[in-house]
Amino acid sequence: MENKNFKPFVPADKVVPEFTVFSVVLGAILAVLFGGANAYLGLRVGMTVSASIPAAVISMGIIRKVLKRDSILENNMVQTIGSAGESLAAGAIFTMPALFMWASEGLCDLPSLLDIGLIAVFGGLLGVLMMIPLRSALIVQEHGVLGYPEGKACAEVLIAGEEGGSKSSTVFAGLGIAAVYKFIADGLKLFPSEVDYTITAYKGSGIGVDVLPALAGVGYICGTRVASYMFAGSTIAWLVLMPLIALFGSDVVIYPADVSVAELWATDGTWGLWSKFIRYIGAGALVAGGIISLIKSLPLIVKTFKAAFKSYGKGPSGTLRTEQDLPMKGVLIACAAIVVFMWLFPGIPVSLVGAIIILVFGFFFATVSSRMVGLIGSSNNPVSGMAIATLLIATIILKATGSTGASGMVGAIAIGSVICIIAAIAGDTSQDLKTGFLLGATPKKQQIGELIGVTISAVAIGAILYLLNAAWGFGSEQLGAPQAMMMKMVIEGVMGGNLPWALVFTGVFIAIAVEILGLPVLPVAIGIYLPFHLNAGIMLGGLLRLIIEKRKYASEKARKDAVESGILYTSGLIAGEGIVGILLAVLAVITVGGKSVGDIIDISGTVNLGNIGGLVFFAVLLVSIYLFANKTSKDSKK
């Protein structure tokens, strides 16, 4: 089953401290901290930041510098447990606030802390368990095919800290530069982190770029090919579909918009067209892309299941420490038991039909998510797109089986919440297991760590949601909860019979056309769903990787060293932005004199360099990546 040609950093026959009391305690603390910070960030702006690399860096600082311990696998266990909080928070905040909003409208009772905690913990446990059978197929067999950029970056950060020297300095140079950059951009707000231009002569279109270090890093690590597929999807959405909507829709009111396309364009510009129309098209493309990807992966998945079952009862799932997963039979029994409990427990509004939907679509989206994060990383994993697809199908099925009105809507959001958390956690687990694969960790121990992380995070997420709702209320100016608002709208649209099916099926058939052309569907579908600006930042990182690869070098070794140095540096960029992103989320919650610290340090009202400043800073950042790689190639010539 294992890739025999690959040699991990820690040999399989070497045993070092890994699953320790200290790693569990520190990981649990980080899981709660990252979960809380990301819950606020996601409810405020609609997206979260990956916590794997920040958790690894914090762990490395405490374990190596403070406690003078030197086990890289113990560091890895801390980040494995700690990153679970961020992923579980992402899954929960994209859906569960809808329950609070319906409660405020008098449509249902306010969910209890126990109910929220159980939905979160069951979704988290299923996300981990459903990914376990896929580990060999996706992490091992497709090593070199699926990059898992954040998993690889996390491994590079840990290895650099272990080895020290120039590798370590390269990573931490990237970390420091990105940290300062992120603080200036999104803390001080000296320039906008999102540069946006509307093409007035081509009505309905727009371009732009998110000038953030992590995007350049993800693009560089993923490479030009994957980045170009995503950018192609965004080009279709922003330079083809949106202008067509503006041209033909003009004075027409198209649901889900409540004003004409012309008025929407006049008031909200490109972002109005994107949020009201393109996201539904993107969701349809993601559903079709996910189904196509799953069908194409079925032979490999079936082969993995057969091998896992064949090995059951014959001792560990592999003869080596690095080949051992949790027993397959136990995994399947646990999945079945969780689904049955959700159906029978009165506090969770999941019927028998809903339990079946969770079991089927849970595994489906666990597979899709695990593969997608291998392509584009966890931070760009469109979990909300998968949740929308789930809600569409689940609400239709519930409505057809007689579950209508408020009870049907609450049941649909409960199903969507579990599936959303499954997808988020499966993606996070995949990245963590990839890091472990590169380092030589024991998969079984990492899987246990993930289960601990999601359980602890689930206990805290209910209290966090209650706290934030009590402070500002979901759907308010302070906590717009954009993703949850969209989920609420989708369910109400299906139950009311006015969902924009034409938009959804447009995305489906675009995905089919892409597959007929022989292109990978998921990256293109992700490009349609995510904003042009985000994919443009990734594309620029990918192009820079191409430039560095195509340069003339004294030897092939010099070329390889240059590319690898760039990977180390961009890994640091991802880490630096992630750490400061979480810090800024915390500062936004802390108030001094009735004003948040985040607002206090904001100087955009007095000094603002504008879009030009953002482009200049980003250009300097891209040049810094080139210079670090070029420095290595020069060193290789000596």
Where exactly are the structural domains of the chain?
21-467+478-637
Look at residue 636 in the predicted model and tell me its pLDDT.
46
Name residue 352's amino acid. L
DSSP alpha helix (H) spans, 67-164: 72-93, 97-104, 113-131, 149-163
Look at residue 64 in the predicted model and tell me its pLDDT.
73
Q: What is the pTM of this model?
A: 0.74
The answer to whether the Cα torsion of 281, 355, 429, 96 is positive or negative is positive
Look at residue 195 in the predicted model and tell me its pLDDT.
92
Q: Residue 520's closest CA among 320, 167, 226, 302?
A: 226
Going from the first residue of the chain to its last (638 residues), give the mean pLDDT of each consecutive group of 10, the final group possibly shorter: 70 88 91 79 65 75 73 90 87 89 88 91 95 86 81 85 69 88 92 91 93 87 87 95 91 85 91 90 82 72 61 53 87 94 90 91 86 75 75 87 88 92 92 93 95 93 83 72 78 82 91 93 85 91 93 84 84 78 76 83 89 94 92 54
The answer to whether the Cα torsion of 355, 457, 480, 531 is positive or negative is negative
Look at residue 380 in the predicted model and tell me its pLDDT.
63
Q: What CA–CA distance (Å, rounded) separates 127 from 249?
A: 41
Look at residue 76 in the predicted model and tell me its pLDDT.
92
Question: DSSP states of 258-273 as a string?
Answer: SSBHHHHHHHHHHHHH
Look at residue 4 in the predicted model and tell me its pLDDT.
58
Look at residue 313 in the predicted model and tell me its pLDDT.
46
The total of other beta-carbon atoms located within 10 Å of residue 309's CB is 13
Residue 109 DSSP SS3:
coil
Radius of gyration of the chain measured on its C-alpha atoms: 23
Question: DSSP states of 172-206 as a string?
Answer: HHHHHHHHHHHIIIIII-SS-SEEEEE-TTSTT-E
- Give CB contacts under 8 A, 24+ apart, made by 334-341: 334/125, 334/129, 335/126, 335/129, 335/130, 335/359, 338/122, 338/125, 338/126, 338/129, 339/126, 341/122
Between strands 595-596 and 591-592, the pairing is antiparallel
* Alpha-carbon distances, residue 373 vs 154, 334, 382, 434, 441 (angstroms): 14, 25, 9, 11, 20
Look at residue 235 in the predicted model and tell me its pLDDT.
96
